[in-house]
A = this chain, B = another copy of it.
Amino acid sequence: MTKTNLSLDAERLWADIMRLAEITDPARPWTRRSFTALFLEGRAWLAKRFAEAGLVTRIDTAGNLIGRLEGLNPALGVIAIGSHSDSVPSGGRFDGMAGLATGLEIVRSLRDAGIRPQHTIEVVDFLAEEPSEYGLACIGSRGMGGALDARMLDLTEPGGEKLRDALRRVGGDPDRLAEAKRDDVSAYLELHIEQGIVLESRALDVGIVTTIVGVRRIEIIFQGEADHAGTTPMALRHDALVAAAHTVAAVRGVAEQLAAEGADYFVATVGILNVEPSASNIVPGRCRLIIDARSTAPALIQRFTETIDRESQAHAAAARVTRASFTIVSDGPPVACDENLRSALRQGARDLGLGETDLPSGAGHDAVYMSRICPSAMVFVPCRAGKSHTPEEWAHRDAIAAGAEVIFQALRELDQTLR
């Protein structure tokens, strides 16, 4: 395969994104949660599109949907292009799908031009990149990267199903997970919407990702006493929500402080807060909250954790409740993207006359786990007002096409140079 003036079909790429978006929970677009019937419907459609593009399609034991185009020189290994087709509840149409459609359009364009690459190309729809009902994100890429362990397979969703059984239900095989781990991938490339406002605000076409933030999730449980809200005097209460509320305020305060230091990127969020028993006339007896802390600097995440550990303990004592749990439920360090791939992507953007910049990713991605088994890199494209994980999420057709062209350009370069 040589570099030519080959170009992708922007309209065909866009049509795939719009078509998959229609497979949504109609009550709350755009929702296609991993492991649901809708998710499987989306995948059936994707598998059909993969096959139409001439790809040999399969589901690996970690539940990833893979379309494969055999290369001329199998010894060179695989260049994988991927992302994910699942969404958060009431999410967007682009997060995940833009990257999948990019991979699909690239292999279609190669086929239309009658070009057979040296490397085998795989388009991968990673299973459950978004936090799933089982309390775990990036399930498929963890599997491919060899980071999905038996403890994780025992995670259970609120309805009682274990991840192990859910994985079987979507075509994976929890008993043969080791087979999903790959040692034949030479490079992983992913296009994604930025989910931030840097590219839009600077009117740039693409971002070449330098580092993907580390993400630590902490679960805190406060245990108080569920007393009658009318007859329990203020001085005798053990109100779990009071401790939780002060902790939410502390998370915000500490995060603002660490972000303001400016040297490294830092954000922290309480996105889940459950109150039990949740009745207007009962003092909350138990509260559970999940903190999501992210940074390009592990030291900041550690400082944050220690401060919130102390503060939540103090707020529990002040509310006369027990801090029943302070648990780091998941912890991924920051991951640097591969310099060689970044340079191919940068060159691709320059050859195409596009405005590009280096930037960190505040969001986790499947590339985090792929980087455990192969050089990995990402291209960001601008999205309107930085909005993501919300129905208003939007990226322009031409913006996605430009990013996809950068990956296409880099792929053709890497197909020649990558050994």
Q: Of all chain B residues, which has the CB nearest A284?
A: B271
User: Does A194 contact B280, Cβ atoms closer than 8 Å?
Assistant: no
Q: Are B227 and A388 in contact (CB under 8 A)?
A: yes
Report the minimum CB–CB distance from A242 to chain B (whole Å).
5
Indicate if the CB atoms of A363 and B245 lie closer than 8 Å.
no
Give the chain B neighbours of A388 by CB distance below 8 A: 227-228, 231
Residue in B225, B242, B252, B266 whose CB lies within 8 Å of A390: B225
Q: Size band of the A side of the interface? A: 35 or more
Q: Which of A231-271 contact B (CB under 8 A)?
A: 231-236, 239, 241-242, 244-246, 248-249, 252, 255-256, 259-260, 266-271
> Shortest distance in angstroms between A239's beta carbon and chain B's nearest beta carbon?
7
Given known contacts A89-B279, A195-B228, A226-B389, is B273 in contact with A256 (CB within 8 Å)?
no
B227 touches A389 (CB 8 A): yes
- A272, B278: Cβ atoms under 8 Å? yes
Asked, given contacts A281-B131, A389-B226, whether A235 binds B215 with beta carbons under 8 Å apart, the answer is no
Chain B residue contacts of A231, Cβ below 8 A: 194-196, 361-363, 386, 388
Q: Point out the residues of chain B lying under 8 angstroms from A267, CB to CB.
A: 229-230, 232-234
Other-chain contact of A273, B137, B196, B213, B241 (Cβ < 8 Å): B241
Q: Is A346 an interface residue (CB 8 A)?
A: no
A194 to B232, CA, bound (A): 11
Residue contact A248 to B259, C-beta cutoff 8 Å: no
Whether the pair A275, B273 counts as a contact (CB closer than 8 A) is yes
Task: Judge if A357 is at the interface, Cβ distance under 8 Å.
Answer: no
CB < 8 Å neighbour of A285 from B194, B268, B390: B390
Least Cβ distance of A325 to chain B in Å? Answer: 15
Closest to A276 in B: B90
User: Which chain B residues border A229 with CB–CB below 8 Å?
Assistant: 267, 269, 271, 292, 294, 389
Name A134-178 residues within 8 Å CB distance of B. 137
State whether B282 touches A389 (Cβ < 8 A). yes
Contact B235 A259 (CB under 8 A): yes
CA A259 to CA B268, docked complex, whole Å: 35
* A90 partner, pick from B226, B252, B362, beta carbons under 8 A: B226
Chain B neighbourhood of A260, CB < 8 A: 234
A230 touches B213 (CB 8 A): yes
Out of B244, B252, B280, B390, name the residue touching A226 (CB < 8 Å): B390
Q: A245-B245, A246-B249, A248-B242 are known contacts. Are A389 and B269 too (CB-CB below 8 A)?
A: no
**A292 touching B271, Cβ below 8 Å:** no
Q: Do A271 and B283 contact each other (CB < 8 Å), given the known contacts A228-B363, A230-B363, A249-B245?
A: yes
A248 and chain B: residue at smallest CB distance: B245
Quick check: B245 and A131 within 8 Å, CB to CB? no
Q: How far is the CB of A132 from chain B (nearest CB, A)?
A: 10
Contact call A230/B195, Cβ cutoff below 8 A: yes
Q: Provide a sorted-by-A list of 6 A–B residue pairs whose CB atoms are within 8 angstroms.
A: A88-B282, A197-B236, A229-B389, A234-B267, A239-B269, A269-B282
Q: Which 8 A-B pairs have the closest CB atoms?
A: A245-B248, A231-B362, A229-B269, A196-B231, A230-B363, A230-B362, A195-B231, A245-B245
